[in-house]
Amino acid sequence: VVEPAALPGTRFAGTVQAKVQTALGFRVGGRLVTRAVHVGDLVRKGEVLAVLDSTAYELAVRSARAELSSAEATLASAVATEERQKTLLQSNTAAQAAVESAEQSREAADAGLVRARTALAKAEEQLSYTRILAEFDGVVTATGAEAGQVVSPGEAVVTVARPDERDAVVDIPEGVGGIVVGSRFTVSLQINPSVTASGAVREIAPSADAATRTRRVKIALEDPADTFR
């Protein structure tokens, strides 16, 4: 009868990954004109990462502005007509029905102005969606589209990771016991074993991989050196 036992000082190979990785994409579809970053580039919050062809969206904004100008002119004319009809009513030279009609026209023009302003705000918002901006300081870990490619809304174009919080991701055989959330590990670089960092297990996969029969374990690194990338 053979009983499995954990070997002292068992080593496992893994990779260093960012704890938080965000796949960024456009909220609207179109042809990708520029992708300003590549894998490994450091980016700052607010930096432009990619740009879509915005011609159609700029034309929509210009059309919405023209509609707003027309709505403002219509409202100004309706207000003037309403005031004129009220003045004529006071001098008994206009009927009450004409005043009520002028009031209804002014209300309709007022609603049209609100609708035009909303349409312009929507068009400007759609135009802003033709650019991808970095949500935080980080490093580009993957790209999903090249310039000239037509992308759909939500399609991942650039993946940015936070470099401040990193994990050592290790696939541990299912038979190895004694590893729980909070277990301590010492992590060293394969290229330079003298560079080490301490860490604690923060997540264990609930089930083993069907093919390799290993569980993915994520070890949160504590103050790792910059070489842990």
* DSSP code string of 135-168: SSSEEEEEE---TT-EE-TT-EEEEEE-SSSEEE
Residue 168 CB partners (closer than 8 Å, separation 6+) = 14, 15, 16, 185, 187, 199, 218, 219, 221
Give the mean model confidence (pLDDT) for residues 153-175. 89
Phi, psi of 201 (to 5 degrees): -65, 125
Band of residue 8 on the pLDDT scale cut at 50, 70, 90: low
Please report which helix (H) or strand (E) contains residue 103, including its range: helix 96-128
Please report which helix (H) or strand (E) contains residue 82, including its range: helix 55-90
Q: Which two tokens stand for residue 73?
A: 């002119």
Kindly report, residue by residue over 97-116, the tens digit of the pLDDT.
888 888 899 899 999 999 99
Residue 9 has pLDDT above 70, yes or no: no
Q: What is the pLDDT of the chain when averaged over all its residues?
A: 89
| 140 CB-contact burial (10 Å; exposed 0-12 / middle 13-18 / buried 19+) | buried
Round to whole Å and give the CA distance between 122 and 128.
10
Question: Residue written as tokens 């870990």?
Answer: 141
In Å, what is the CA distance from 222 to each residue of 167, 184, 189?
A: 9, 11, 14
Q: Which two tokens stand for residue 46?
A: 């607010």
| 212 CB-contact burial (10 Å; exposed 0-12 / middle 13-18 / buried 19+) | exposed
Three-state DSSP state, 207: coil
Which amino acid is present at 125?
E
Position 221 scores a pLDDT of 92
Position 5 scores a pLDDT of 67
Sign of CA dihedral 147, 153, 155, 156: positive
The two counts, helices (H) then strands (E), for the chain are: 2, 13
Residue 66 CB partners (closer than 8 Å, separation 6+) = none
Q: How many Cβ atoms from other residues are within 10 Å of residue 107's Cβ?
A: 13
Residue 7 has pLDDT above 80, yes or no: no
Band of residue 229 on the pLDDT scale cut at 50, 70, 90: confident
Which residues are registered as beta bridge partners of 215?
A: 172
